[in-house]
Amino acid sequence: MQSIVDAELITTLPKLRASRGEREKSMSGHLAKQKKEQGFTLVELIVVLVILGLLAAVVAPKVYDKLAASKAQICRIQIKELEGALQMFAFDIGRYPTTSEGLDALIHNPGNLEAWQKPYLTKDVPKDPWGKPYVYRCPGQHGDYDLLSFGPDGLEGTDDDVASWK
């Protein structure tokens, strides 16, 4: 019986040794694969950063242009709203607010005007989209009154001014 066990052991021992070697190769291949998959190389990270930088360089100016155009559009809308309030004021009072009364006359009675009935704006007089007050002049150089924003540069007479007569 001992000889049968010895014979089986002799025949299975090389198979065990072979399978042990295969297991070691398999495990070392698995470890190498796992080690390779642990992270990105420096070159890969630099390539990704360069691509992101190029995208930002292309997209950012277009986004900025859209933002600037939308601020000018908001300014035109606010000027139209103020013009409507000025029209209602002129209808009730019989004249537009003077330059010294300013746009504040649309919110508060500028004096003892009996015909002044209500605030002509639901909120305070808005600032232009660039955070500066609107310029109001009455009498105006371009009509009964001039209502304008000096735009992003804050300088009068430049191309970026937004005005009621334009």
CATH number for the domain that contains residue 138 = 3.30.700.10
135 Rama sector, left if φ>0, alpha if ψ -120 to 50, beta otherwise: beta
- Tell me the pLDDT tens digit for each residue of 32-69: 555 556 788 999 999 999 999 988 888 888 877 777 77
Q: Is residue 83 part of a domain?
A: yes
Q: Is residue 85 part of a domain?
A: yes
**Does the predicted model carry a pTM greater than 0.75?**
no
Let me know how long the chain is: 166
Q: Is residue 146 part of a domain?
A: yes
Q: In whole angstroms, give the CA distance from residue 63 to residue 69.
A: 10
Q: Is residue 115 part of a domain?
A: yes
First to last CA, the chain: 113
Q: Is residue 94 part of a domain?
A: yes
Q: Is residue 122 part of a domain?
A: yes
Structural domain for 126, as ranges: 75-163
Q: In whole angstroms, give the CA distance from residue 74 to residue 127.
A: 11
User: Domains in the chain: how many in total?
Assistant: 1
Among 149, 120, 88, CA closest to 164:
149
- Tell me the pLDDT tens digit for each residue of 129-161: 999 999 999 998 989 999 999 999 888 888 889
Q: Does the bond joining 14 to the residue before it have cis omega, within 30 degrees of 0?
A: no
- Tell me the pLDDT tens digit for each residue of 81-137: 999 999 999 999 999 999 999 999 999 988 878 888 889 998 899 999 999 999 999
Q: Is residue 50 part of a domain?
A: no
Q: Is residue 22 part of a domain?
A: no
Query: Which residues are CB-neighbours of 82 under 8 A, at least 6 positions away?
Result: 103, 106, 121, 125, 126, 134, 147
